[in-house]
Amino acid sequence: MAILVKPNTKVLIQGITGSFGARHAQLSIDYGTQVVAGVTPGKGGQFFEYGGQRVPIFDTVAEAAKQTGATASAIFVPPPFAADAILEAVDADLELAVAITEGIPVNDMVKVKRAMEGKRTRLIGPNCPGIVTPGAGKDSHGGCRIGISPGYIHKQGNIGVVSRSGTLTYEAVWQLTSRGVGQSTCVGTGGDPVNGTSQLDVIKLFNDDPETTGIIMIGEIGGSAEEEAAEWIAKHCKKPVAGFIAGTTAPPGRRMGHAGAIVSGGKGTAEAKIAAFKAAGIGVAVTPSEMAETLLRMM
């Protein structure tokens, strides 16, 4: 099994005609993802053609979902328009919206979060690498890749990976795959201060997934997401969890690559997060190169 997306998930891509959206639509098709529609206002009726496939393009998400049965969206829309794109997916009642866009104004995301209250749609991101559920084919092709993660590093298996950092997501996945250990699903939650799905949300889903047998959780300085997840893990998680916190050498007050990775008011420090991990029984990797080994040792 897997969480959130499976090989048969039908995906639409908002912004499929832009250079970035088009490139990753091609890579998702190559991976075996069921890309069934694209959405670009004003280009309805055209087709995105690649690899012998003709993916229809629609003016609206609602129309695309109705015509194709798509239940998930990848959002490659420029920052000034990305919040509206997310809300369009919500209004279309999709199950999942994955916002890859970096640089969405925080105020826009606050409005999005309020508008999503009580709605069916789950948001991953923004400013995230997306989600991958590996398939069973050669090099795990035939799975579902929504976002920008390199497909070839994944292998079907039983380890769940959740991370605020895109690059460290890839590092953990490749470490596992290089050791012959596959993944159930890999989720990048994103590095912005206001996002949709938290690390704790993903941990709960992995905990409930009968075929996920271990979890790697990658955090970073800023915010309290890791401490909240650690507190829940200590009380409820039935599976081994290994973790890593990025930013231990960051100067105080320095804003890092992620807008949410800033320590302010003495909160969100690497030391506090590592202490929370240890108190919860989470295996702490001292360096990124030890993430997979730390979990496998625990198992």
Catalytic machinery residues: 258
Instruction: Give Rg (Cα) of the chain.
Output: 18
Residue 185's nearest CA partner among 134, 146, 125 is 134
Q: Residue 258 has which token pair?
A: 């992620």
Type of residue found at 219? G
Distances from the Cα of 36 to the Cαs of 49, 135, 228, 249, 271, in angstroms?
A: 12, 18, 37, 44, 45
As a whole number of angstroms, the distance between CA 245 and CA 286 comes to: 8
The backbone torsions φ and ψ at residue 219, rounded to the nearest 5 degrees and listed phi first, read -120, -175
* Cβ(199)–Cβ(229) below 8 Å: yes
Residue 163's nearest CA partner among 223, 219, 224, 221 is 219
Dihedral sign for Cα 77, 226, 273, 211, please: negative
**10-14 and 72-75 as β-strands: parallel, antiparallel, unpaired?**
parallel
Strands (E), 80-236: 96-99, 122-124, 130-133, 144-147, 156-163, 183-188, 214-220
* Cβ(100)–Cβ(148) below 8 Å: yes
Q: Residue 251 has which token pair?
A: 């100067």
As a whole number of angstroms, the distance between CA 134 and CA 43 comes to: 32
Q: Residue 30 has which token pair?
A: 């190559």
